[in-house]
């Protein structure tokens, strides 16, 4: 009951903070960047990440106690990005890499075994193992930032992962405090509603915090218990990670910087297709696109949880995902630019 009261009071304050920032024109989503223009909104505060950060501190303090200062620095880095204090993507990436490596080293966060012989051979070396874990978290965090382009997509995606946690807890695969998981999931769902109806956006802060926290938590659970295939973990994070990796390859092909934003991510192509094909308003194309992607991932997670320890099964699902992603992407890309494929 106490936690529920705290959540209610926190969201009342959250609403007040949003209105205050809009009135003062502080920490709003639109800064004139090209990749922001497709939404066309100028008065949505980037406060979702702030609320998520303090929620994690409240519900999961003991899980991150040994890295609390570095976790806080990652939060500050996100705020600096949202306030445009650190505008350079390269500088943010380098700072991310340093912070994540320190977190991985202090936590001894090594992803082992991966059940891939050649990778396990390399990461048997501690230093290489730390770099590998850092690389994985970097891909996840920046991929989370990439998918944060439609209403509810980022926070909704991690809410789906929370639902998987519930199922794993129910089947006694995990040992997560149920009340904390319940109330934190409630927090994410309420933020999803705020985000979905343009009352709050996650911003870089939200992407950094959500991507890191869920990645850190799932890696720790896997290493400590090894009750499921590591490819089940990859399946849960497949969308932001592949969005990042695919974007890097695509931009290299076009001879562009892989860390500079653009308007050709999958969710943006879906937005454009819905808007042009069905001639609907931006807000509807935005929301429908988000719901389509979330529904697809819910189905994939539903299949994945059926056999969490079977590596071959998880790999087949991953390959299927990548094939479907690429097929849809190239189809929508051709539609946007009137190309024949």
Encode pLDDT of 59-85 as tens digits: 998 889 999 999 999 999 999 999 999
Mapping DSSP to helix (H, G, I), strand (E, B) and coil, where does residue 302 land? helix
Residue 255 has what DSSP assignment? T
Rounded Cα distance between 4 and 2, Å, is: 5
Q: Tokens for 17, please give them.
A: 């903070």
The helix (run of H) or strand (run of E) holding residue 15 is: helix 2-24
Q: Where are the domains of the chain?
A: 2-241
pTM assigned to the model: 0.94
Give residue for tokens 């998880």.
314
Rounded Cα distance between 145 and 33, Å, is: 15
Would you say residue 259 has pLDDT above 80? no
Rounded Cα distance between 157 and 72, Å, is: 23
Structural contact between residues 78 and 205, judged by C-beta atoms closer than 8 angstroms:
yes
Quick one: pLDDT at residue 168? Answer: 80
Instruction: Give the pLDDT band (50/70/90) at residue 111.
Output: confident
Rounded Cα distance between 3 and 9, Å, is: 10
């Amino acid at each position: 009951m106490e936690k529920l009261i705290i959540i209610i009071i926190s969201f009342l304050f959250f609403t007040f903070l949003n209105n205050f920032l809009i009135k003062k024109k502080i920490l709003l989503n639109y800064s004139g960047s090209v990749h922001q223009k497709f939404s066309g909104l100028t008065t949505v505060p980037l406060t979702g990440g702030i609320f998520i950060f303090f929620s994690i501190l409240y519900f999961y303090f003991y899980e991150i106690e040994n890295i609390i200062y570095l976790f806080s620095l990652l939060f500050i880095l996100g705020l600096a990005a949202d306030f445009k204090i650190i505008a350079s993507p390269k500088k943010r990436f380098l700072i991310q890499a340093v912070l994540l490596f320190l977190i991985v080293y202090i936590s001894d966060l090594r992803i082992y075994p991966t059940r891939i012989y050649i990778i396990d051979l390399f990461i048997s070396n501690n230093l290489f193992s730390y770099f590998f874990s850092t690389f994985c978290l970097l891909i996840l965090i920046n991929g989370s930032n990439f998918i944060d382009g439609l209403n509810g997509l980022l926070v909704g995606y991690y809410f789906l992962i929370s639902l998987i946690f519930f199922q794993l807890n129910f089947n006694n695969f995990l040992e997560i405090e149920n009340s904390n998981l319940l109330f934190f999931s409630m927090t994410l769902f309420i933020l999803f509603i705020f985000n979905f109806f343009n009352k709050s956006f996650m911003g870089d802060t939200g992407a950094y915090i959500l991507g890191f926290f869920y990645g850190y938590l799932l890696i720790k659970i896997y290493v400590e218990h090894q009750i499921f295939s590591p490819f089940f973990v990859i399946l849960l994070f497949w969308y932001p990670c592949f969005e990042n990796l695919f974007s890097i390859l695509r931009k290299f092909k076009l001879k562009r910087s892989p860390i500079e934003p653009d308007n050709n991510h999958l969710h943006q192509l879906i937005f454009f297709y819905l808007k042009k094909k069905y001639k609907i308003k931006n807000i509807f194309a935005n929301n429908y696109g988000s719901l389509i992607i979330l529904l697809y991932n819910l189905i994939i997670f539903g299949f994945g949880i059926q056999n969490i320890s079977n590596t071959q099964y998880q790999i087949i699902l991953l390959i299927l995902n990548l094939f479907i992603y690429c097929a849809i992407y190239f189809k929508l890309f051709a539609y946007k630019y009137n190309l024949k494929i």
